[in-house]
Amino acid sequence: MSTYTTILQRPLDAISWEDDNFIEELLEVVQLFRPFSVAISEFITERGYIGEAENIEAKVSFIRAAFSKANMDAPREVREWFTLQQPVKRDTAFQICFAFGLDGSETDEFFRRIYARERSFNCHQVQEAIYYFCLNNGLTWADAMDIQSRVPLAGKEKTSGDVVYTGSIIAELNDLESKDEMITWLNENIDKFTTSNVTAYETIRRLWELTAGPNGLLIQEHESPKLTSILDDSATDRTKKLNFGVTGVKLYDAYLAILQLDKKDVKRLETDRSIKPILEKLHDSIQDSFPDRQGIDLILRGEHVSYERVRKWLVLLTFYTWWARKAIEKEDYAADSGDADRCIATINQYLIESGYPELYVGNPYDWIFFYAAKNEVPLFAFRYIWNELLVDTLEEHQ
């Protein structure tokens, strides 16, 4: 295990939600997550860079040289990766992989460990199916651009009817042996590129029904006399509230109930049903596409949203349903030995089935779920994070 991930593993056991300075400790962990400038510095060192670690110009020159050798134009903003801590766009990440001659598995690893924001190939997009084929077959960026110029870039979008899953597309791509075969296949099979994230959408819809549907987990939690809510306060006789009817829990109420945030307190943030202000102290990649009311509404209606938005909702719902079912069965939020590994394995299973990379402790969003899963009371600890951030945010804005 690399030093980077080792450093991030240590706080999983070292800090407790019961510590008086828990939020301060949590925010210290946020500072451990490296920006892209540090990650790409490690990457180029692995790829032969022998200059000084602090020599920005030397690193920029090394990266530009790799692009030049691959007959590619280097991104204009390479220097800003280091001077302004500027993140890179998804397509730029693929360009880096081409420039440094990575194959498909190495590209997967680059996205998981260096880019650390989103999955690598989404082969339900024509452009990324081309990247997948080229990188796995030793073809160049110029080859990828040539193929792209000779095929349609998308089929007609649809969200129902017969669908072709990503795994099937990948299997067919793996059978192709030449660029001409790839061009012919894409032109003949463009209708297979008509949906996005089909497996993930289906899984999220199923988990949402399990969570917020009639007699769903949120209602069962609410009605259990032994499952204490963070919102319960015997001193003020305040008890947890949940608005639901015959069709289940309303969408926004369900969203807040998963995080166990009080609607009146959230309203004091003076946002339109958003918790963005409480996320501002956290790492940018946590804030980016963090699960929200609008995102789940669009997914449930079959509308297109970013892949990162889908992934984060998939992780959140899998985590919640896994621990909520266990808590309801036991009438207790406490975890048993081995539960953390089983929960993480379940999340990873759903991610892999949907074409996403497994949870990675070096991803700031994923780290929160590793931390909560390893806690003695995982779901309670997870909710405690958001409640404490909300309290701190409201106090700062009084």
* Tens of pLDDT, residues 21-34: 999 999 999 889 88
Q: Are residues 236 and 332 in the same domain?
A: yes
What's the pLDDT at 239? 65
Answer whether residue 349 is part of any domain.
yes
Q: Are residues 237 and 321 in the same domain?
A: yes
Q: Are residues 255 and 297 in the same domain?
A: yes
Answer whether residue 5 is part of any domain.
no
- Name 249's bridge partners: 244
Q: Are residues 52 and 104 in the same domain?
A: yes
Mean pLDDT over the full length of the chain: 91
Domain enclosing residue 241, as ranges? 198-396
Name the least confident of 160-169, 315-324, 335-344, 368-377. 160-169
Predicted model pTM = 0.84
Residue 376 has pLDDT above 60, yes or no: yes
Q: Are residues 261 and 165 in the same domain?
A: no
Domain-terminating residue out of 165, 195, 225:
195
SS3 244: strand
pLDDT band at 1 (very low <50, low <70, confident <90, very high): very low
Q: Are residues 177 and 213 in the same domain?
A: no
> How many angstroms separate the CA atoms of 296 and 142, rounded?
38
Q: Are residues 285 and 366 in the same domain?
A: yes
Answer whether residue 168 is part of any domain.
yes
Answer whether residue 69 is part of any domain.
yes
Q: Are residues 343 and 215 in the same domain?
A: yes
Q: Are residues 190 and 204 in the same domain?
A: no
Q: Are residues 158 and 302 in the same domain?
A: no
Answer whether residue 15 is part of any domain.
no
What is the DSSP code string of 24-82?
HHHHHHHTTSPPHHHHHHHHHHHTT--S-TT-HHHHHHHHHHHHHHTT-PPPTTHHHHH
Domain-terminating residue out of 73, 101, 117:
117
Q: Are residues 111 and 153 in the same domain?
A: no
Residues of the chain with pLDDT > 70: what percent? 94
CA distances, 258 to each of 149, 163, 214, 262, 271 (Å): 46, 31, 15, 11, 19
Contact criterion met (CB below 8 Å) for 303 and 205: no
Query: How many domains is the chain built from?
Result: 3
Q: Are residues 217 and 89 in the same domain?
A: no
Residue 328 has pLDDT above 90, yes or no: yes
Answer whether residue 255 is part of any domain.
yes
